[in-house]
Amino acid sequence: MNLTRDRLYTLGWGFALTICTALVLALTFRVNAVKSEVRLAERRVAQLKQEKMFLETEFETRASQQQLEAFNDVDFGYQPPTAGQYLESERQLAALGKPRSPDAPAPIRVASADGMTSVRAMPALASQFASAPVADKPKAPVATPEKAKKPSTGGSARE
């Protein structure tokens, strides 16, 4: 086997090309692995941002609850209900009612209009073109004086 210089030169370039192809392939796999890690990290960042927003909302809610509790305790004097304040039935609720005391003010009474049946529930509508209200029932058409004076011809189709 007689290897000439051109043959060795061709084999060297083929070997170098194979090595470069293997390195490019390895580099491509490595780049894809890094891209995958970046996508996973971005998903994790988005998840953590959502969790942070949830926790901030929870914190603000609890802070406002504590503020409301402080208002209730200090400003208003409210206390949370106890177990003895809940009623078991309507009878217990009815038993809590008291008759009116003699010095209580008279109850507020509302006037009613039972005898007035002619009052309409809705006010009359006003026409947008006139200031007079629109009638409930349409009026019959009024004949113009020209049609009233004109004698009928009997068989004319064009009137």
| Cβ-Cβ contacts under 8 Å for 126 (sequence gap 6 or more) | 132, 133, 134
Specify the pLDDT at position 123: 54
Cβ contact 127:134 at 8 Å: yes
Distance of alpha carbon 91 from the chain centroid: 41
At position 77, the amino acid (one-letter code) is G
What are the DSSP calls for 134-158, one per residue?
Answer: PPSSPPPPPPPHHHHHSPP-SS-S-
Specify the pLDDT at position 129: 58
Length of the chain in terms of residues written: 159
**What is this structure's pTM?**
0.36
Contacts of 155-158 with CB under 8 Å at 24 or more apart are none
Specify the pLDDT at position 66: 78
Mean pLDDT by 10 residues, the chain (159 residues): 78 94 97 97 97 92 81 76 84 80 82 62 55 54 53 51
Cβ contact 37:31 at 8 Å: no
Is 126 in a helix, a strand, or coil?
Answer: strand
Specify the pLDDT at position 85: 82
Separation of alpha carbons 146 and 123, rounded Å: 38
Cβ contact 133:125 at 8 Å: yes
Cβ contact 125:134 at 8 Å: yes
The count of C-alpha atoms lying within 13 angstroms of the C-alpha of 51, restricted to the half-sphere facing its C-beta, is 6
